[in-house]
Structure 1
C-alpha cells in the first residue's frame, strides 16, 4: 500500500490500490488461531460430556445394584438394566460394562464406550482413551 501522504492530491494516473504481502498473511494467521481455539473448545466439551455420562452410568449402576441386593437376588447390572436411569440419549450407540468383582453390590468401576472413546470411571478415577 502507498503511504497516506501520497494521496494528498488526486492521482495523475490510474493506480490500483492493493494490499502488500503482509496483510493476507496476517489474516490467515488470525483465522488459523481462531480455528485452533474453536477446535480446542469443541474437544474440551466432548471430553466433559463423556465424563458426565460415565459418572451418570456409574451412579445408575450403583443404584440398580443396591436395588437388586435389597430383593435378595443380587446380580451385577447390565446395560439393559440401566435404561430407566440413564435414558436413551446416554445409551444411544454406547456399550456399557459394569464390573463388581466382589459381588457385594458396590460397583468397582464401569467402562463406557461411545463415539470412539473409552471412558473408565470409578469414584475418584476417570480415564479416557481412544477406542481401538
Structure 2
C-alpha cells in the first residue's frame, strides 16, 4: 500500500489503489474466526436443545408412570404414551426409550435419540454422545 503522503495531490494519471498481500490475508483470517465462532454457537445450542428435550421427556415419562401406577395397572411408559406431554416437535424423528428397571413407577433414566445424537438423562446425570 502506498503511503498517504503520496496522495496529498490528485494523481496525474489514472492510478489504481491496490492492497498489499497482508490485507486479503487479514480479511480471510477474520472471516475464518467468525465462522468458527458461529459454528461453535450452533453446536452449543444444539447440545442445549437436546438436553432440554431429554429433561422434558424424562418429566413426561415420570408423570405418565405416576398416572399409570395410580390407576392400579402399572406399565412402563413408551414413546406413544408421551405424545400428549412432549408434543410433536420434540417427538419428530426421535426414538425414545424409557427405563424403569424395578417397575416402581420411578423412572430410572430415559434415552433420547435424535439427529445422530444419543442423550441419556437421569436426575443429576446427563450424557450426550454421537450415535454409532
Q: TM-score range by the shorter chain?
A: over 0.9
Q: For residues 33-70 of structure 1, what are the alpha-carbon distances to aligned partners after superposition, in whole Å with 9 as ceiling and x for unaligned?
A: 11011111111110000000000000000000000000
Question: Aligned residue for 1:5?
Answer: 5
Structure 2 distance, partners of 1:79, 1:49, is 19
Question: Aligned residue for 1:130?
Answer: 130
Question: Aligned residue for 1:113?
Answer: 113
Deviation for aligned residue 1:12: 3.5
Deviation for aligned residue 1:13: 3.8
Deviation for aligned residue 1:117: 0.3
Deviation for aligned residue 1:6: 1.1
Structure 2 distance, partners of 1:86, 1:12, is 73
Question: Aligned residue for 2:95?
Answer: 95
Structure 1 stretches (4+) deviating beyond 3 angstroms? Answer: none
Secondary structure of 2:86's aligned partner: helix
Question: Aligned residue for 1:81?
Answer: 81
Which runs of no fewer than 5 residues in structure 2 stay unpaired? none
Give runs of aligned pairs for residues 38-49 of structure 1, distance below 5 A.
38-49=38-49
Secondary structure of 1:74's aligned partner: coil
Task: Provide TM-score, normalisation by structure 1.
Answer: 0.97
Q: For residues 55-92 of structure 1, what are the alpha-carbon distances to aligned partners after superposition, in whole Å with 9 as ceiling and x for unaligned?
A: 00000000000000001110000000000110110000
Q: For residues 93-120 of structure 1, what are the alpha-carbon distances to aligned partners after superposition, in whole Å with 9 as ceiling and x for unaligned?
A: 0000000001000000000000000000
- The Cα RMSD (Å) is 0.9
Which runs of no fewer than 5 residues in structure 1 stay unpaired? none
